[in-house]
Amino acid sequence: EGGADVQDSPIEDLCYVNLAHYRNSADLENGAHVAGLPTPWVNGVDDPTSFPTLHLGSDTVLILPTGSQTGILQCGSEGFATIEKAMDRKENQMAALGARMLAQEKRATETAEALEIKRGGENSVLASLAATVENALTSALRFMAEWQGADPSEAAIELNKDYFAQGMDAQMLTAWVAAWQQGAISYPTFFAGLQRGEMVPESLTAEDEMEQIGNAEPLGMIGDDGQ
C-alpha cells in the first residue's frame, strides 16, 4: 500500500507479437537453408563408393549406369507458405498495435483530417508518456536547482507533443494570407501560423522576418553591374 502504481507498457502487446514474429522468421530462414537449397540425388547405383564424383554445370557430362536416375531435390514455395502467412498476419497485428513501419499507409485515399483523427488515440497515449517524462525531468531539475541555491520554481522542462508531420498546403496558405491582408489577424499571428505549418523555421522570429523582408531587393531588380 502507498507504493507507485506501475501500469503496463503501451507497447507490451506489440513486443509480444514482435517476438513471435521473430520466431517465425527464424523458422523460415532455417527451413529455407535446410530444405530450400537445391540438392542433387541419384538412384540405381548399387555401389555408391565406386560411383565417380559428380560435377554439376552446363559444361559437364554425367555418365550414369544403365537404369539409374538423377534429379534435383528442392522444396517449393508452398512448403513455407504456412510460416509466411503467419508472419504476414503478425505484421498486420503489429500495424494495428501501432507499428505502422511494417505496413504501408494508403495516404492517397485519406484526407489530412482523417489521418489526424485516426492517430488521435495513439498520440494521446504518447502525449501521456511524454507528460510523465516531463514531470520526472522537471522534478530532477528542480532538485538540482535547490542544491545550487537557485529558484526551483523557475526550472521546468517541456517536451514537444506535436506528433503530426503535416505541413501547410497551398489552400490553407492562401486562406492565412487572405485573413492577414483583410486585417482579420495580426502579422505575429499570421507568422505563428506559418511556423506551425512548417513554412518557416521555428528559430526565426516575426521581427527578424520583417527585417529580412525590408532588406530584400525587389524581384527583377538589376544590380550595379547590369546583371
- Chain segment 89-116, per-residue pLDDT in tens: 888 888 877 745 434 444 445 555 555 5
Output the CA–CA distances (angstroms, integers) from residue 105 to 81, 108, 165, in the order listed: 25, 9, 14
Given this model, what pLDDT does residue 43 score? 83
Give Cβ neighbours of residue 92 (< 8 Å, ≥ 6 apart).
Answer: 103
Partners of 43 in beta bridges: 69
pLDDT at position 112 is 57
The stretches in the chain having pLDDT less than 50 are: 1-3, 99, 101-108, 222, 226-227
Q: Largest Cα–Cα distance in the chain?
A: 99
Q: What confidence tens digit (pLDDT) does each residue in 76-93 have? A: 667 788 888 888 988 888
Domain ranges of the chain: 12-44+69-102, 105-163, 170-208
